[in-house]
């Protein structure tokens, strides 16, 4: 059973996704109100940052908070479990593969209409909420979560995977941050190779002279070190 905090986080993420994915003013108004209701109660559940997962608050909602809008109204009572289920329905997980151990994650999601490109990101918390919070009107389809790698240091693992994909000239330019021409199998190969190379070591070094566009990136005289989690690849 989901607790109140999980329900509030799901309610905010669901409302944010709705706000970002529609141009219908009536639906956006409902989404703004829902986000407002969550955020005015956020101090009871830790902080606004905890509830939002660090995501940006839309300017219109922030102004509502600053003005104290709707302060006299009673927040909508909703079942936390239902909110979590509703949020999960916004992301397709039927082909999800999970690997590794830890309380943080590196994930990859994309769209079935463009199977050759994936967004590779990281999360210290709920991955479904992280992906759902990125839904916007420009999205071509329902996002499909293909891969979640559990780890104890998601930022380091994400940096290593991004670095290797960039070295292979697979970074997509102009398509948003963290999008790459890659597949789940390739990402798993990178993860397993990285894990195998770092078990017992905790880091590795890489040196490259130029990037795909010819600009300078770390060389042997400016070696970049990635600290990587030593976790099970099972």
So what's the pLDDT on residue 153? 93
Report the sign of the C-alpha dihedral through residues 66, 69, 71, 74, in that order: negative
Strand partners, 111: 114
Length of the chain: 234
Q: pLDDT tens, position by position, for the chain (234 residues)?
A: 357 777 888 888 888 888 887 888 988 888 888 888 888 888 877 788 888 877 788 899 888 888 876 554 555 556 667 767 777 788 899 999 999 999 999 999 999 888 889 999 998 888 888 888 777 656 678 899 999 999 999 999 999 999 999 999 999 987 677 899 999 999 999 999 887 766 555 444 443 434 465 554 443 333 444 444 444 444
Residue 80 has a pLDDT of 67
Q: Shortest CA distance to 16 belongs to which of 156, 186, 135?
A: 135
Domain range summary for the chain, segments of one domain joined by +: 4-88, 97-227
3-state SS assignment for residue 112: coil
Pairing of strands 114-123, 104-111: antiparallel
Looking at residue 197, its pLDDT comes to 64
Neighbours of 44 (CB within 10 A): 11
Instruction: List Cβ neighbours of 214 (8 Å cut-off, separation of 6 or more).
Output: none
């Amino acid at each position: 059973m989901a607790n109140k905090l999980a329900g509030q986080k799901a309610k905010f993420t669901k409302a944010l996704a709705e706000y970002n994915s529609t141009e219908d003013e009536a639906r956006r108004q409902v989404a703004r109100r829902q986000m407002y209701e969550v955020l005015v109660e956020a101090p009871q559940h830790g902080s606004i940052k905890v509830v939002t997962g660090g995501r940006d608050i839309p300017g219109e909602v922030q102004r509502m908070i600053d003005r104290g809008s709707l302060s006299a109204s009673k927040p909508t009572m909703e079942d936390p479990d239902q909110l979590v289920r509703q949020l999960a329905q916004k992301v397709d997980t039927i082909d999800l593969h999970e690997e590794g151990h830890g309380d943080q994650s590196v994930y990859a999601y994309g769209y079935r209409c463009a199977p050759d490109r994936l967004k590779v990101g990281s999360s210290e918390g709920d991955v479904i909420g992280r992906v759902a919070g990125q839904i916007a009107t420009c999205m071509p389809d329902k996002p499909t979560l293909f891969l979640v790698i559990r780890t104890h240091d998601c930022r380091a693992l994400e940096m290593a995977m991004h670095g290797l994909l960039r070295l292979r000239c697979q970074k997509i330019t102009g398509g948003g941050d963290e999008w790459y021409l890659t597949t789940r199998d390739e990402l798993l190969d990178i993860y397993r190779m990285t894990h195998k190379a770092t078990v017992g070591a905790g880091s590795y070094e890489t040196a490259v002279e130029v990037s795909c566009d010819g600009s300078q990136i770390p060389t042997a005289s400016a070696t970049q070190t990635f600290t990587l989690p030593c976790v099970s690849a099972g």
